[in-house]
Amino acid sequence: MTNVWRAFFTMSAVLLGFLLLSVPFVEPGSGAFVVSVASFVMLAIMFVASGAFIYVDWDPFEDLL
């Protein structure tokens, strides 16, 4: 299961990087700014959560097997 969390961690890191590269081109107060902030919050939560899951080696399906 760690491979899945690592994939989520990597994907969110790459998407956060692309989002940070677009910051200079987004006008504050525009619709794109609102979408950028919402995307940043969602990706940051996924980045931190997947990092925590990797750290504690959490397997959500452990009890099912």
N-term to C-term CA, the chain: 13
Residue 65 predicted with pLDDT over 80: no
For 33-58, how does the pLDDT look when each residue is reduced to its tens digit (9 = 90+)? Answer: 999 999 999 999 999 999 999 999 99
Reported pTM: 0.86
**42 in Cβ contact with 19 (< 8 Å):** no
33-41, long-range: CB within 8 Å, 24+ apart, which pairs? 39/15, 40/16
